[in-house]
Amino acid sequence: MPQYEYKVVGVKALAEGDYKEAGRAASEYSVSLVKNFALKGSATLVSVGDVHGLLTADHVWRHVVEGAGDDFCMTLANAPQRFNYPFEGCTPITVGKYSSSHAEDGPDLAFIRLDNPEKLHRIKSLKSFYPLDPGRDQFNDIPYDQTRWVVCGAPAEKSFESDPAKGKRILKVGQFAGFATFKEKSVRGEFDYVKIKISSGSNGFPNHYHGVSGGGAWIPFRYCEDPEGKIESPTLRVFLAGVAYYQVPAEDTRPKTLICHGPKSIYERVVQAVRP
């Protein structure tokens, strides 16, 4: 992928309609993870070559597998649906092992390989898998500190169990795509980390981001149709630049700070862990 195709990111301001389009684009890859009628967290559908799976935080997957049950649910559409996926059809790959002793500092990253062909076919009919191409980490070439970020996930406070209809329990999971700004980037060991600032408590933003852990953080951009970057493609796209795993504690409703694994963690560590 030519590097010049990313140079338009952040150079020109995006219109409000573009931000909405970016949110829709990021949501195309986003799913929520549910177990026993309880939201456990968020994930992004990704692929490494011909391997398909869920990219999420390690602590989120630990919440999914704990307790009784042979399967879990993914939310794949806005319409009422129940999509169960069996644990026996998964191969969890711990990329960065979570520990409560370093929950904020990380690492906290996992890839869940989806091995059930029938279930995988069903997911592909409703959602898309974002390709993690080796060498796609061009993060340092992108003006990431000058552009908006899109955070996609399922805040726990927007999910609730509604009154049973005809004897059936219904859990309503509220998907969310909100815009954030870059704060800082750091590298510790084999992983990189990004802090982003996001509004809370007003204009549709949740008060807290519990449940968004495991969700993707995206950068909107446009392709160029010429090497000089003068002609922009009309289609807006999103670059997966982070996986959210921690909200820095805050007592009030000021903008929250989310900590994410960054592109190096995604395009190097995840790809290396998934490839045989």
Q: Whose structure tokens read 């953080």?
A: 217
Cβ atoms of residues 243 and 194 within 8 Å: no
For residue 122, the Cα-to-chain-centroid distance in whole angstroms is 20
What is the SS3 assignment for 229?
Answer: coil
Length of the chain: 276
Query: For the chain, what is the largest distance between any 2 Cα atoms, rounded to a whole number of angstroms?
Result: 61
What is the rounded (10 degree) CA torsion for 32, 36, 39, 40? Answer: -80
Per-residue pLDDT of the chain (276 residues; tens, 9 = 90+): 334 344 444 445 566 677 788 889 999 999 999 998 889 999 999 999 999 999 999 999 999 999 888 999 998 866 566 789 999 999 999 999 999 999 999 999 999 999 999 999 999 999 999 999 765 656 666 777 878 899 999 998 887 777 655 667 777 787 888 889 999 999 999 999 999 999 998 888 888 999 999 999 999 877 666 555 555 566 778 889 999 999 998 766 689 999 999 999 999 999 999 987
Among positive and negative, which fits the CA dihedral 144, 146, 151, 155? Answer: positive
C-alpha count within 13 angstroms, C-beta hemisphere, residue 15: 5
What's CA 22's distance to the chain center, in Å?
Answer: 13
Domain layout of the chain by residue ranges? 3-274
Positive or negative, the Cα torsion across 51, 71, 107, 216?
A: positive
CA–CA distance, 65 with 54 (Å, rounded to integer): 14
Number of H helices and E strands in the chain, helices first, is: 5, 16
Token couple for 101: 């002793």
Question: What's the CA gap between 45 and 39, in Å, rounded?
Answer: 17
Please give the structure tokens belonging to residue 58. 């390690």
Burial of 237 (0-12, 13-18, 19+ CB in 10 A): middle
State how far Cα 64 lies from the chain centre.
16
Ramachandran region of residue 22, left (φ > 0), alpha (ψ -120 to 50) or beta? alpha
Cα(164)–Cα(200) distance, integer angstroms: 30
